[in-house]
Structure 1
Amino acid sequence: MFTVVRSLLVAALPVLASATPSLAQQAPATEAKEAAYTRAITERADKIVATLGTLPADKAPKVRDLIAGQYRQLSEVHEARKAQLAALKAKPQDEKTAAEAKQVEEKTTAALDKLHGKYLRQLGHQLTPAQVDQVKNGMTYNVLPITMAAYEDMLPTLTAAQKTQMQAWLTEAREHAMDAGTSQEKHAWFGKYKGRINNYLSAAGIDMNQAGKDWQARLAARKAESAAH
């Protein structure tokens, strides 16, 4: 009997051996992926820190680690949401599932809000308000200042009140975009608020379609003039 069992085990060894490498390779692959991600968010954070001017030697790495840490924690929250929603897709799509999906979204929003507040408090201990704004812009591809500058160039007759309102909406968009999980989601937040701004300006009597065409013509003329020189 023992001989038979041993023979069965020996016969099974090739099968076990063929399965083992895939399991053994999982840990190094996961470690390599984690190392690559750590490098990516650290480099991203370093680039943002570089825009803040000269910081004390002991402060720069602290700020970099705060930014990189925020990227990591945001990723964890978004990945958890993604996994939970994926699991719900496998369930019958009824009212119960819809309620569970809504709960996932609410918990995600609460987690992001908590992270957001804590992160800004930590940055505030290390940086000036102006530098914190630079970090926010760095995390959102500088869309706020770029967009505001574009509006002012396109519409040189904007009033101070209009500019103040537009700046407020773009700042609100940036607060949301900072916590988004992808570049597309970050830009989507700004897109939403730019739609609000366009409606606001249209209501004030500005023909945004014509203003856009006129602006593009001016940009083309500037480009041609620059090329000529």
Structure 2
Amino acid sequence: MNSLRLLSLSILGSALLLGSARAADPAPAAPADKEAAYTKVLDERSSKIVAALELGDSTKAARVQARIIAQYRSLNAWQETHEEKLKELRKTKDAEPAKSEIAAIYAARKTARDTFLADLAKDLTPAQVDTVKDKLTYNKLQVTYNGYLQQLPSLKEEQKKKIYDWLLEAREEGIDGVSSHEKDEIFGKYKGRINNYLSNEGYDLKQSSIDWKARRDAEAASGKK
């Protein structure tokens, strides 16, 4: 077999292998498929929230679910519209014009949230609206608040109120979080404010955290006996 024939066979073999590899790669999802998958996710998330409300009125439930889905879509559209611009602005976040523009972009998101909550209130009681808020923020308000109470059992009533009020603010802002990560960041910002307040009130948060862990470990060990 001459060298020219060997070279041709080698090229053919490489082409076949390349074609086979390409055929094995998954085809990119079509826009319609992506939209269908996204719609399914939103239906599942919103239906769980509505189920927790126990409305007992299918028409009302449908309206509430539609509003929740619209809010999810609104946040997604907001992110797609402003994400790149915000990245650019944050590179110069110390400049006053950039700060003002960033604030204006986020203000639009707050306006949409206010409208969403007002629409929910047309069909839901204040307690039910709070349930929606908790579900949209993964119940971080109560979980975080309970954590402070357990870590610092000597908290005074006025201190508890201040902590809870700040966490209420965190929940309101957290509704706007597009991702769970952003919601964590929002609550983290308020936790930083709370921790500074508690430190100024004389609490040693580092030591109290160590003590809290020791109490939990002791309770766990006691439960195993």
Q: Provide closer, same or farther for how the CA distance between residues 183 and 94 of structure 1 changes in structure 2, counting only shifts above 3 A.
A: closer
CA drift of 1:55 comes to 3.3
Give the Cα–Cα distance (whole angstroms) in 2 for the partners of residues 94 and 52 of structure 1.
Answer: 44
C-alpha deviations, 1:46-72, integer Å up to 9, x for none? 111122234322111211111111010
- Which residue of 180, 186, 190 corresponds with 2:187? 190
2:117 maps to which residue? Answer: 120
Q: Name the CA distance, whole Å, in 2 between partners of 1:138 and 1:109.
A: 22
Name the aligned partner's letter for residue 59 of structure 1: K
Of 113, 119, 130 in structure 2, the residue corresponding to residue 133 of structure 1 is: 130
Bigger mean CA offset, 99-108 vs 75-84? 99-108
- Report how far residue 155 of structure 1 moved: 1.3
Asked if 1:76 is matched to 2:77, the reply is yes
Gaps of 5+ in 1: 1-24
Structure 2 equivalent of residue 203 of structure 1: 200
- Size of the aligned set, in residue pairs, is 197
**4+ residue runs of structure 1 moved beyond 4 angstroms?**
98-104
SS at match of 2:121: helix
Q: Distance in 2 between matches of 1:155 and 1:213?
A: 11
> Which aligned pairs between 1:209-228 and structure 2 lie closer than 5 A?
209-228=206-225
1:23-34 to structure 2, matched below 5 A, reads 29-34=30-35
SS of 2:178's equivalent?
coil
In structure 1, what is the Cα distance between the partners aligned to 2:80 and 2:101? Answer: 12
Query: Counterpart amino acid of 2:214?
Result: A
Structure 2 stretches lacking a partner, 5+ long: 1-26
Aligned counterpart, 2:63: 62
Q: 8 Å contact 1:84–1:104 — kept in the other structure?
A: no
Match of 2:36 in 1: 35
Secondary structure of 2:59 counterpart:
coil
Whichever residue aligns with residue 73 of structure 2, its letter is R
Deviations 1:17-58 (A, max 9, x none): xxxxxxxx88x7101101111111121111111222343221
Answer whether contact 2:92 2:98 (CA < 8 A) is retained: no
Q: Which residue matches 1:151?
A: 148
Question: How far off its partner does 1:156 sit?
Answer: 1.4
Using structure 2 for the length normalisation, give the TM-score: 0.79
2:53 maps to a residue whose letter is L
Superposed displacement of residue 75, structure 1: 0.7
CA RMSD of aligned residues (A): 2.4
TM-score by length of 1: 0.78
The code of the aligned residue for 1:197 comes to I
1:180 counterpart SS class: coil
Distance in 2 separating the partners of 1:170 and 1:221: 29
